[in-house]
Amino acid sequence: MPINGPALARLRKALTRHTKAGWIRAVFAKPGEGADELVRTGPGEGSTPSPEAVRTLLDHAEGAARDGHVKVTLVLDSSTRVRIDARYGKAKILKLNEEKIAKVMGGKERSLRPDTSGDLLRVIGIMNADGTISAKNAKKYKQVCHLVDLCRPAWERVAAQRTVDEAHPLVVLDLGCGNSYLTFVLAHALALAKIPARLHGIDVRRDVIERSRARAAELSMANVSFEVGEIRNATAADGKSEAAPDIVLALHACDTATDEAIDQAVSGGAAEILCAPCCQRELSTQLKKAPVRAMLRQGLLKQDYASTLTDALRIELLEACAYSVDTVEFVGSTHTPKNLLIRAHRRYPGTPVEPSRWKLDAVTASCTALGVNPAGLALLAARVPTVPVGDGR
């Protein structure tokens, strides 16, 4: 249907009527889910707009409509949207009530509600600019909420073990943070739980760090910082807190980067460690022995065996360094086969880290019997002080 003069006049009239009390943003989209969107920031919720701001919006709307972006959505506040089809000019007010919220959350109470956590969900790309969550992102939304629930016991244990307040915030270190989705989600969840926290992300890629810094600024998260650097050189502090990290995260750090993250966490005395290993390639080139020979002859079996063995040895290393460990599936295997989350908590939090008390001998013996030398063992063993040999005098 062509956009003619009368249709545009109706569009301008509808927009004028619904923008008197201000708006957060205006979204112009072409018909069809996933079509490209044009987003214009408004003067804000409850702010009386200037005549110039309204005229600018009307001009943008008319130009967008002529270009095919006929679906117009005004986001007035966290729960109210006005939807207008430029071809007809009729406005429809949409309220995000409890019934609709429950539908988005899949009938369950989620850590991140679409109304109270909308800005976060939008900035990390789960929620659309118009305040909706597409079917494509609905699964990702539920996975993110599930991940918060998996992290919750970690911060609750820390809060039970020591005083957590503004002067002594929870310190979280995200090693190999990538796009920092978990950093932002965890920062938001901790804010909702009213737990003071400082979060610091480290990654070797400058582009993802700059993107993360921009998102932190957009979300006004002054307690979140990012740094370009390698995991092996990461410091426990974030430049603003001299405390050792309470929680260390390492999600999908590739191959031996996971071992470097575990080494940094253990040697830094982290009370809680959560890591999701990825691309466990190292041992596949070292394997010479297996319970069944076919596990070495068949490529897929060898790959699976090497991955499982790698993570099993990581768990034994953590246990040898006085951590209690459990493993859970953090996303469905239909979404990704790399869905193992290793959760470890230190059995004696707050005590000095004493590598001389680590019990690495049993893990070393297992590795010798298997003919492998994993990076994780080498990194931790290098921190154990050697006993000087007497000179015989």
Cα dihedral 27, 30, 36, 37 in deg (nearest 10): -10
Beta strand segments in 204-360, E: 224-228, 247-254, 272-278, 323-329, 340-346
Residue whose token pair is 């490209």: 36
Instruction: Report in angstroms the alpha-carbon separations of 113 from 107, 109, 137.
Output: 12, 8, 14
Query: What does the alpha-carbon distance between residue 125 and residue 118 come to, in Å, rounded to a whole number?
Result: 11
Fold of 139-381: Rossmann fold (3.40.50)
Rg (CA), the chain: 26
- Res 333 pLDDT > 50: no
Record the pTM. Answer: 0.85
Band (pLDDT 50/70/90 cuts) for residue 392 is very low
Q: Give the number of other Cβ atoms within 10 Å of residue 285's Cβ.
A: 9
pLDDT, tens only, 102-115: 888 888 889 899 88
**198: pLDDT confidence band, cut at 50, 70 and 90?**
very high
Q: Which amino acid is at 43?
A: P
Domains of the chain, by residue range, sit at 5-95, 139-381
Residue 101: pLDDT over 50: yes
Neighbours of 376 (CB within 10 A): 24
The mean pLDDT value of the chain amounts to 88
